[in-house]
Amino acid sequence: MNWPQLQWNIPGAILPKIQYVDANGAAQTLEFRYPPVNVNPMAPVPKGSDNIASDGTLWTVSWYVEAYMEFETYVLMGDDMDAWLRFLSIAVNGQTLTIYPNKDDITVSAPCTLMVAGRVNSSGAPAIDPRPTRVSPGLYKIQAVLRFQKPSDASLVFDTLNGRSEAADFA
């Protein structure tokens, strides 16, 4: 069965894009057709461990700080769904991705990783099953968690997705 190539346009919406490398080593771009919804920023989480020496001295070792963002997006049946399924088949393997929170502004980007449920990792980031779920005929929803490689990128991506810029915040 052939699905029509459904189109949707929301005037003024900030639509992100994600760049990644496919299994053949070719650069690919996944462009959102719907803006992400239920975007939840997560506070940076320090990762580390405590150790008590034999003399009773407490040593705290800080490994790194991680930050992540959870969101949902809607996907149309047809070429939009095909693009998302190709992306997910690569991203679930832990590949580093680059998110551009506003596809029209390439100056703001952040390297990140998709966190997937059932995958063993030492991260404290929540992991979600990104499998598309049906919302209505021809429309599906995908939930995702992105873990940022640089914690400072989390607030920048969140602000851009919500139409805010640092310059506007201090004006």
Q: What is the pLDDT of residues 38-88, one digit of tens each?
A: 888 776 666 777 788 888 888 777 776 778 888 999 999 999 999 999 999
pLDDT the model gives residue 135 = 93
Q: What is the distance between the alpha carbons of residues 77 and 57, in angstroms, rounded to a whole number?
A: 60
121/62: higher pLDDT: 62
Q: Report the candidate in 91, 70, 79, 64 with the shortest Cα–Cα distance to residue 5.
A: 79
What lies within 8 Å, CB to CB, of 120 at 6+ separation is none
3-state secondary structure of 113: strand
Q: What's the CA gap between 3 and 35, in Å, rounded?
A: 22
Pairing outcome for strands 97-100 and 17-21: antiparallel
Domains of the chain listed by start with CATH number? 17-169 (2.40.30)
| 103 vs 94: which has the higher pLDDT | 103
44 SS3 class: coil
Is residue 171 packed enough to be buried (19+ CB in 10 Å), middle (13-18) or exposed (0-12)? exposed
Give the mean pLDDT of 92-118: 88
Which residue is listed with tokens 């299994």? 23
Please give the pLDDT value at position 169: 44
**Residue 9: predicted pLDDT:** 61
**Mean pLDDT, residues 4-24:** 78
Residue 143 has pLDDT above 80, yes or no: yes
Amino acid of residue 121: N
What is residue 42's predicted lDDT score, i.e. its pLDDT? 72
Give the Cα-Cα-Cα angle 11, 69, 33 (nearest 5 degrees).
Answer: 25
- Percent of the chain scoring above 90 in pLDDT: 33
108-120 pLDDT per residue, tens: 999 999 887 655 4
**pLDDT higher for 19 or 124?**
19
- Asked whether residue 7 carries a pLDDT value surpassing 80, the answer given is no
Give residue 94's pLDDT: 84
Q: Are 141 and 133 in contact (CB under 8 A)?
A: yes
Whether the pLDDT of residue 5 is over 50: the answer is: yes
In 3-state terms the chain splits into helix, strand, coil percentages (rounded to 5) of 15, 40, 45
Instruction: Kindly give the pairing relationship between strand 27-31 and strand 110-114.
Output: unpaired
